[in-house]
């Protein structure tokens, strides 16, 4: 069983280990974070939590039932009812549909908990698995982008505005 948790201070060690363990794997399809990311991780983690507290970003982790970190899903640059979606699934957890399920979960949270009306996401052209995840979640291509010198595609997904069910009348 996989659980979805909002990023907290106590996740720092597991998150750093996850990023180190998967650095080479991620760098095959997304721009590398660079050495500074790892050297300054503790300060960066605190800054992310502070930013999350303002509502400008929403960071989430996917954990298995033993607490092992399997992936992360983030909504960043929240503004005007929109946010940019980013996600990473660790190499040992790929091929199980976790990315597709995680994006579906974040779409729901984005509309219901965060009040967003649209999400955008980008992926490199040489990452067909990520494109498939986005397409399975109803994202459509809206243009080309350059991702640190690598050609990519920008996707967009409109979100249904969450409306609570009306109270039953008796």
In order of 72, 114, 129, 135, the CA distances from 125 in angstroms are 21, 30, 10, 14
CA angle (43, 44, 50) in 5-degree steps: 90
Strand order in the sheet with 118-124: 2-6, 58-64, 69-79, 82-89, 118-124, 150-158, 140-147
Q: Give this prediction's pTM.
A: 0.87
Q: Would you state the pLDDT for residue 161?
A: 62
CA atoms within 13 A on the CB side of 58: 22
Task: Name the nearest CA neighbour of 92 among 122, 121, 62.
Answer: 62
Q: Are 88 and 127 in contact (CB under 8 A)?
A: no
CATH fold, domain 2-158, is: Aminopeptidase (3.40.630)
* pLDDT tens column, 32-80: 788 999 999 999 999 999 999 999 999 999 999 998 999 999 999 999 9
Report the pLDDT averaged over residues 102-115.
Answer: 95
Q: What is the DSSP letter of 116?
A: -
d(CA 82, CA 113): 13
In which element (H, E) is residue 130 found?
helix 128-136
Q: Could you state, in order of their start, the residue ranges of all structural domains in the chain?
A: 2-158
Q: How far apart are CA 99 and CA 73, in angstroms?
A: 9
Residue 170 confidence class, pLDDT cut points 50, 70, 90: very low
Reported as a single tens digit per residue, the pLDDT across 136-167 is 999 999 999 998 888 999 999 999 865 544 45
Q: What are phi and psi of 146, to 5 degrees?
A: -110, 120
């Amino acid at each position: 069983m996989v659980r979805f948790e909002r990023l907290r201070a106590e996740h720092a060690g597991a998150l750093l280990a996850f990023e180190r363990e998967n650095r080479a794997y991620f760098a095959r399809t997304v721009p590398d974070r660079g050495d500074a990311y790892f050297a300054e991780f503790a300060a960066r983690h605190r800054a992310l939590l502070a930013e999350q507290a303002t509502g400008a970003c929403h960071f989430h982790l996917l954990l298995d039932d033993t607490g092992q970190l399997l992936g992360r899903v983030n909504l960043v640059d929240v503004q005007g009812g929109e946010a940019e979606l980013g996600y990473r699934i660790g190499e040992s957890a790929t091929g199980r549909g976790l990315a597709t399920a995680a994006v579906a979960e974040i779409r729901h949270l984005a509309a219901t908990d965060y009040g967003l009306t649209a999400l955008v996401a980008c992926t490199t052209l040489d990452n067909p698995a990520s494109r498939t995840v986005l397409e399975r979640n109803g994202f459509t291509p809206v243009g080309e982008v350059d991702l640190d010198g690598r050609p990519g595609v920008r996707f967009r997904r409109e979100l249904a505005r969450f409306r609570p069910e009306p109270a039953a009348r008796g």
